[in-house]
Amino acid sequence: MAKSTCLLALFVAVVVCTEAIRIDTAPPSPSTGKYFPSVKKDDPRCKNKDNGLFPDPKDCTKYIKCVNGDGQEKKCPSDFKFDSIRHCIPPRDDPDCGKKTFSGPSDVDEKCPETYGIFPIKSDCHKYMVCRDGKPIVKTCPPKHVYRDINGACVDGDKCPKQSSEETECKRANQLLPDEKNCRRYIKCVNFQPLKKECPPGTAFDPTKHKCTKEQLEKCKNNDVLNVEQDQ
């Protein structure tokens, strides 16, 4: 009987000890750094950019993850470089780390709108400029690609998009203008270039408040748009 009691006591002690170890062993907490990079609110590198991945203008091994204007700096795996189209690529695909598209800072008369960043060249959509310390470096997209500022990258296409009739309406950066043909849409001026945007479902663009509101949807004259939404 005494032997059984000792065995039972030993078993309970082992269980309690094991449980204590399990409870005391906590997983490591996330921290900022290489594996948990910090998020920068209202990152200027994400200004006027859609959500996505964009090259770091200072380091071609890094890229910026933009989400609703907030930026998170990330780095490609060791020896890999960031490419706007294919993202992280091995060095053999880009041995010059982005320098192969360099066309010289003086072939286009452009000035950097900001100290750092990537910006379109209005006179040629096949080119863009990387601004570092306020100095422009002109680069050329790969063949059959054009630069789109809203993507911050070269995208498929070999013809520059035609300038819309709203081009002259963009008198200042980040200006929001109503779309005369569809009240659920509006025009956002990015680097003085018009880009058509659509309001979230259940809202319409209010030209007086310069934003999409639910109240404006009731005044929307595009009844065909409303009917489509109601049928969905």
**Whole-angstrom distance, CA of residue 130 vs CA of residue 120:** 9
Mean pLDDT for the chain overall: 69
Task: Give the tens place of pLDDT for each residue, 166-185.
Answer: 444 577 767 888 887 788 88
At 215, is the secondary structure helix, strand, or coil? helix
Instruction: Tell me the longest C-alpha to C-alpha distance in the chain.
Output: 98
Task: Give the tens place of pLDDT for each residue, 108-130.
Answer: 467 787 777 777 887 888 888 88
Query: What single string gives the DSSP state of each residue in 30-71?
Result: P-SSSSSPPEETT-GGGTT--SEEEEETTEEEEEEEEETTEE
So what's the pLDDT on residue 97? Answer: 61
**Whole-angstrom distance, CA of residue 122 vs CA of residue 132:** 19
- Picking from 1-10, 206-215, 223-232, which range would have the lowest pLDDT averaged per residue? 223-232
pLDDT tier, 75 (very low <50, low <70, confident <90, very high otherwise): confident
Q: Pick from 163, 189, 178, 170: which is nearest to 222 by CA?
A: 178
The model's pTM: 0.36
